[in-house]
Amino acid sequence: MMWAMQNRPTQVLLNVGHAIDHMFLLIFATAVTTIAAEFGLTRWEDLMPYSAAAFLFFGVGALPSGKLGDHWGRRSMMLLFFFGMGAAALLVSVTRSPMQMALALALLGCFASIYHPVGIPMLLQNAPRPGWTIGVNGFSGNLGVALAAVTTGYLVKHFGWRMAFAVPGLLSLGCGVAFALVAHTEGAPPAKRKPTQVELPSRLLARVFLVMTLAATSGSLLFNFSTNGNYELLHERFAEVTRDPAQLGLLLAVVYALASLAQLVVGRLLDRFALKPLYLTVLLLQIPFLALAAHAESWALYAMQVLFMIAIFGAIPFTDAMIVRYVDDRMRSRVAGMRLAVSLGASSVAVWLLGPLVKQAGFGTLLWVMAGIALATFLVVTRLPDAPPPAGAVK
């Protein structure tokens, strides 16, 4: 039986879910200075490690989430995602100490781990233009990053940091209700369906999985270092212009909104060109922009921040595109879960190290480290086997 692609309202909610996933994980990073002051800490860097467990569970939780998505059903898992995220965010909003905050954020990370191995394969099921679908989904997810910056800055300034978690939490609960109403019940879980594409030899699939996982790990390190540190980087290097949290949040939202457009461009290109050379081109752009940002101040720093975030966000769709090109839908959630468990679990160290690294060595060193990671990613992807170009590709 050929399983139909999702209806339009379900597609919209799956993309909104991606925005929620990234937004909720970055509210803390945007509000950390205010939270640290309320909890009696003198520096934001001292509170930042308390969010590391959220990103650890965001990664390792993808493994059971992916298995449940394939064997239990993706619709059921997405309902758990929306309601779990909402409840966890409300719990974070009532915490009173760093340890309570750490535990509540860890729970948030557990529910956040559901989306990528479940929501994206559900969205891509029989999509006629998978590259474009991935691009729109990535754009939506990174708009969530932008929303974390602008809405958190506004809510912290006018209503306090607790409302910055509570309001999005209620939004997620509302999305869960809507998803329950519009998402069709699955006739059978993905693992019990018939194959829809030719499976690769196990040796070649293992090589693809290794390259994909290593590239995703280094890419996730860059994503976590940048998105969790960008606000404080702007706060430090942009001081001669403004230190107003709402204005900084708006400026950062513009960075993320512009960078998110790169995913739409990449998504369109993925449906027309071979994956490997396109991926290498995007990775190569990251290195000079990060190196130049290490020594920039004020508006020059802001320009480099826009450019390196465009390159970092532009690389994100490729791992999902590799899964679509090489892996049958019956096991995409499990493959994505294994890849995410390794890559996001390992990259959670970026959140734990961010505060101490910046405190000891400064943002200049951090940005040079990120440039080195970008170079390593480029070298890893050169080992990716060539894939056949997509249908309708430019010859």
Q: Find the domain containing 42 and state its range.
A: 8-381
Say which CATH number the domain at 219 has: 1.20.1250.20
92 located within any domain: yes
**How far from each other are the two terminal CA atoms of the chain, in whole angstroms?**
33
250 located within any domain: yes
List phi, psi (to 5°) of 260: -65, -30
85 located within any domain: yes
Other C-beta atoms within 10 Å of 297: how many? 13
Note the pTM of the prediction, 2 decimals: 0.76
387 located within any domain: no
Helix (H, G, I), strand (E, B) or coil at 239: coil
2 located within any domain: no
- Residue 181, Cβ density class (10 Å: 0-12 exposed, 13-18 middle, ≥19 buried): exposed
pLDDT by residue for the chain (395 residues), tens digit each?
344 567 889 999 999 999 999 899 889 988 888 999 999 988 888 898 888 889 889 888 988 998 898 888 889 999 999 999 999 999 999 999 999 999 999 999 999 999 999 999 998 887 778 888 998 998 888 788 778 778 888 898 899 999 999 999 999 999 999 999 999 887 777 766 665 655 666 777 778 888 888 888 888 888 888 877 888 888 888 777 667 777 887 888 888 888 888 888 998 998 888 888 999 999 999 999 999 998 888 889 899 999 999 999 899 888 888 887 777 777 788 888 887 887 777 776 776 777 777 778 888 888 898 999 999 999 999 988 776 556 555 54
Residue 2: the pLDDT is 40
Residue 160: the pLDDT is 92
Structure tokens at 275: 């994956």
**C-alpha count within 13 angstroms, C-beta hemisphere, residue 1:** 10
Rg (CA), the chain: 20
Q: Count the domains in the chain.
A: 1
Residue 191: the pLDDT is 66
Q: How far is CA 24 from CA 14, 162, 181, 316, in A?
A: 15, 13, 23, 19
Q: C-alpha 382: how far from its chain's center? A: 23
Per-residue DSSP letter, 272 = T
151 located within any domain: yes
Residue 99: the pLDDT is 94
Per-residue DSSP letter, 116 = I
189 located within any domain: yes
For the residues of 156-207, what is the DSSP string, one character each?
HHHT-HHHHHHHHHHHHHHHHHHHHHHSPPPSS-GGGSPP-SPPPPHHHHHH
391 located within any domain: no
Structure tokens at 174: 């509302």
Helix (H, G, I), strand (E, B) or coil at 344: helix
d(CA 337, CA 113): 9
Residue 320: the pLDDT is 82
d(CA 342, CA 364): 28
Q: Give the distance between the most distant pair of CA atoms in the chain.
A: 62
